[in-house]
Amino acid sequence: MSASAATWPLPEQRPASLSIGLWVFIGVASALFALFLAAYAMRMDQASDWTRLAMPWQLWLSTALLVAGSALLEGAARRGDAALRVGAGLCALAFVASQLWAWQALAEARVTLAGNPAASFFYLLTAMHGLHVAGGLVAWLRVWQRPGPERAAKVALLARYWHFLLLLWLVLFAALGWLTPEIVAFICGRG
């Protein structure tokens, strides 16, 4: 094969290009969620029909699972331990299950998607975050199924993405649980 027929990126450039791609994706996802949260705050500020939700206890379980998954992936990235990678994936699956359990608890309490704006945003924000976790699970499976010299770099990238998902979840959880119309009015200079 001639030098001009080499594929791009070259194997030694692939981890760097994947890292740049991940940072771009994180930037885009951050902007998307920032816009969702801005819409959430604006709708809360303008709504006389806003009814605050009682957060289901399953969200605390979800948070613990995401923290554990992030820590396990960080350990897997540092030590190359396959058991830690498996544990992180199981935590991610359990996170999605606990989110669905929280939705079920809300449905049993008759909190529906169209019931009030707070419920609509709750379902939207948690569903969007859940889709990003599901995307992380797809990446986790790909890293798991394709061993090779770049696996350590890919596990490190996966850990970075999981840390982003954890940080994003903490922001969403705080906004959903503790952001009030009074706080929004204060932030907007009307309080």
Domains and CATH numbers, the chain: 57-191 (1.20.120.80)
pTM for the whole thing?
0.88
Considering only CA atoms, which of 72, 118, 124, 116 is closest in space to residue 99? 124
pLDDT averaged per 10 residues in sequence order, the chain, 191 residues: 51 75 97 96 84 92 97 93 92 97 96 89 97 95 80 91 98 93 82 62
The pLDDT score that the predictor gives to residue 12 is 56
**Residue 21 to residue 18: CA distance in whole angstroms:** 5
The pLDDT score that the predictor gives to residue 183 is 87
Considering only CA atoms, which of 188, 181, 189, 190 is closest in space to residue 46? 181
